[in-house]
Copies of this chain bind each other. A is one copy, B any other.
């Protein structure tokens, strides 16, 4: 199984969800990307269908939006 990618922006909701996802999926199975810090990956996230963060891109390329933390517009500022 290829890795999932967890996109977040450092908000408290994101960090809480990050801990849950790592617990559930296993830390070796998920790449954590903070698009608030690594803004070069915002475009990649949007192309994958990420509408808000935190979101989990599964190995099957589905996007699971988790809670509603910050919209992509908010992250871009």
Contacts and interface: CB of A to CB of B under 8 A. Distances in A.
Interface size range on A against B: 20 to 34
Contacts of A21: 64
Contact of A25 (B24, B62, B66): B24
A62 B20 contact: yes
Interface in A16-30: 16-17, 20-21, 23-25, 29
A60 interface: yes
Nearest to A16: B62
Given A24-B25, A24-B29, 10 more contacts: A17-B62, A20-B62, A20-B64, A23-B59, A24-B24, A24-B56, A24-B58, A25-B25, A64-B66, A65-B68
